């Protein structure tokens, strides 16, 4: 089983990916942990791509994150299930604040140790405006159109929970 989990920041991608990996007993890769080194420093792109390519050699996997530069076409074509969380911005902002309260000053499981949780103005503005760009929405639509039989788009936690209850 290969599962790609995508969606907006704060939508619960990492939590869902962790649940799916545990349920199926398969390895999990958080792309945020690949992209960042300690203290939010970007990792070299080629190093990131190698990490992802090596991980994708596993027979089964869950990969959490969007990151077009990290073999997105290959991830999507190999995935048996593609899940896209397209919750509205207010849900994602609320979740981001909740995550910040829970992990403030320390690293969460889905990120490299030493990347302490923060919710600064730059990230807050990105949450509100940039992540909901037309380009990103169009990218999600393109994925759904290209892989209609294996792509599941959820706009609420209720929809997602109904799907998970059928597994």
Neighbouring-strand partners of residue 4 = 63, 82
**Phi and psi (nearest 5°) for 159?**
-60, -45
Q: Report pTM.
A: 0.91
User: What are the distances in angstroms from CA 22 to CA 19, 118, 119, 159?
Assistant: 5, 27, 28, 21
Q: What is the CATH classification number for the domain harbouring 93? A: 3.40.50.300
pLDDT tens digits for 5-64? 999 999 999 999 999 999 999 999 999 999 999 888 999 999 999 999 999 999 999 999
Number of structural domains the chain divides into: 1
Domain that holds residue 156: 2-165
The residues near 61 (Cβ < 8 Å, ≥ 6 apart) are: 2, 3, 26, 27, 28, 29, 55
């Amino acid at each position: 089983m290969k599962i790609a989990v995508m969606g907006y920041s704060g939508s619960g991608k990492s939590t869902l990916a962790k649940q799916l990996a545990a349920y199926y007993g398969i390895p999990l890769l958080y792309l945020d942990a690949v992209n960042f080194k300690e203290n939010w420093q970007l990792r070299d792109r080629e190093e990131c791509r190698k990490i992802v390519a090596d991980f994708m050699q596993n027979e089964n996997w869950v990969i959490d994150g969007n990151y077009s530069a990290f073999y997105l076409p290959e991830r999507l074509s190999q995935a048996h299930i593609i899940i896209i969380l397209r919750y509205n911005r207010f849900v994602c902002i609320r979740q981001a604040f909740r995550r910040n309260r829970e992990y403030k000053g320390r690293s969460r499981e889905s990120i490299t140790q030493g990347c302490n949780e923060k919710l600064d103005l730059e990230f807050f503005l990105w949450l509100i405006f940039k992540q909901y760009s037309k380009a990103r929405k169009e990218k999600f639509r393109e994925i759904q159109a290209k892989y209609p039989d294996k792509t599941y788009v959820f706009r609420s936690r209720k929809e997602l929970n109904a799907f998970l209850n059928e597994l």
